[in-house]
Chains A and B, each alone.
Chain A
Amino acid sequence: MGINITTTEKVKKYLKEIEKKNKELNIFLEVRSEKELLEEARRVDDKIKSGRSGRLAGYVFGIKPNINVVGLHASCSSKVLEDYLSTYDATVIKKIKDEDGIIIGMVNSDEFACGSSGETSAFGPVKNPINPKLIPGGSSSGSAASVAARFCDVALGSDTGGSIRNPASHCGVVGVKPTYGTVSRYGLIDLSMSLDQIGPLARNVADAALVLDVIRGKDENDSISVDVQKLNLNELGKKKNFRVGVLDLEIKDKRIQKLIADKLDEAGKKYNWKIKKVSIQNVELAIETYYPLVYTEFFSATRKFDGRRYGKKIEEACGPEVLRRIIGGAEITKAEHEGRNYHLALRVKKLIEEEYESAFKDFDLIVSPTVPRLAHKIGEEITVEEMYSYDALTIPSNLAGNCAISVPVGFVDGVPVGMQIMADKFNEQKMFEAGAMIEKLISEEGRG
């Protein structure tokens, strides 16, 4: 963290910015009191001065509201949980607090993380800070927008089918989906248990990598979580040779495809990368594989919202997309259907996972656009199929369980566009190194 500014001054700056612009952009649902925040910031500054501070000292966080933070509302951007005060800290939150990160508040999102645009929140859509008429993407809409709007340094989001990378791309920031199982989900309110991961969003690759290094690791409270090695952050920005596969898949907006291809070409020349086309046989079935899994698991995950212990009965207070998924899950799991579609989808998931594992034998990284089309206007009429198709390029990484980062590489029609760099499971080091190299390329072009 460049210490030209104290944490206290920074928090003041962010609060001012939020006061100025949050009403319009609708990014933060809840901001902690100024008094509390400044007290905490002063404590952190004292620690920094005395050299006893944690790795996240000076960092200010926005948190997606499906992550539990004691004292704040884990509303999931829904009327169902609008009054629900978290009773315990998620593991990632404990880790942030232990390393002296400051949590400024809870950001907006798609309701219960069900969405790819940021429009489904019960508390109104988030507006894209780059162009407020456009969607910011979703479901971690507020997470990406808060970083883009400079309301905080970094944010936490959750990614099930692209929910971190998609809004990162639309808002022009960095977003990371970690390898499945490497970040504890304890305290994350479920969307789809087999796919969910918490991840960081930031204005640069180095910050995202630092945050991930702190929050990830085996947690006994998440029985699925696994051990990881520490990242070597000093290697970011150095030149490395990589074998890069370009995903052989035609997308809707050719301009996006060209932008990605051009930037990749430049990187290849500058860094001596070996670039070749790679095709994944069943990648075009990603969406058809994803939604039966999500419908089923989300249905199961939401049975606890029966209005007896907290919140309201979900079916009575939720919006259309949430209801669609619950009904879909109920349908799939009906006794007479024996969960056929769910089991089938689990098998195709394994197939796609194997296809990527095989591809990564020949490549270090697989690159594609993050999203196949530009952000649409908020409230625009759009079919369910069209909405679902936003995630066609991000879903495969969730199905395969590997890691992927979205790095901003430019604009088309004034709309930010992100490049997705995917690496094999547990290869976040390579992914971050490549991301940093792309980032360097873009920033040098910007200056030149």
Chain B
Amino acid sequence: MAGFLYKKLTEKERGEIKKESEKIINSFGKKLSEIKKLPGESFIERKNLFREEGPGSLGNEELKKRILNNAPEKNKEFIIAEKKGWE
């Protein structure tokens, strides 16, 4: 890998990245599996686990406008994704 500067990737480079990625995973996994005694998985424990409901909120027009603004395809009310007709 010649440096880490950003560049657009060719298909060949994507293939190399895939290979490299797998190599890293396998070598790291191997090292970790050599550890003899392991505890259970790290996970999150907290005291409060639930949220009590309130009256519930409605979105605001401003937020809707901002969200639509970012959509690649949209109309006045909706984000538009691909269209599909089932036979």
Contacts and interface: CB of A to CB of B under 8 A. Distances in A.
B28 A291 contact: yes
A341 B35 contact: no
A282 B40 CA distance: 16
B17 A347 contact: no
Interface string A288-320: 110110010000000000011111100000011
Contact of A349 (B3, B9, B42, B46): B42
B67 to A, nearest CB: 5
Interface in B14-72: 14, 17-18, 20-22, 24-25, 27-29, 31-33, 35, 38-44, 46, 51, 63, 66-67, 69-72
A383 B21 CA distance: 13
Contacts of A85: 66, 69-70
Given A324-B20, A348-B38, A350-B39, A309 B71 contact: yes
Contacts of B46: 223-224, 226
A396 interface: no
Given A85-B70, A319-B7, A344-B33, A351 B28 contact: no
Contacts, number: 145
B23 to A, nearest CB: 9
Interface string A317-330: 00111011101100
Contact of A381 (B2, B44, B70): B2
Contact of B9 (A320, A341, A378, A379): A320
A332 B17 contact: no
A327 B1 contact: no
Contacts of B44: 224
Contacts of B22: 328, 331
Contacts of A328: 21-22, 24-25
A382 B4 contact: yes
A272 interface: no
B69 A194 contact: no
Contacts of B66: 70, 85, 87-88
Given A85-B70, A328-B24, A351 B1 contact: no
A327 B4 contact: no
Contacts of B67: 87, 309
Interface of A: 70, 83-85, 87-88, 111, 115, 117, 119-125, 194, 220, 223-224, 226, 282, 285, 287-289, 291-292, 295, 307-312, 319-321, 323-325, 327-328, 331-332, 340-341, 343-351, 353-354, 378-384, 387
19 contacts: A87-B63, A87-B66, A87-B67, A87-B70, A120-B6, A220-B51, A287-B28, A288-B32, A312-B72, A319-B6, A320-B7, A328-B25, A331-B25, A341-B32, A344-B33, A347-B41, A350-B40, A381-B1, A382-B4
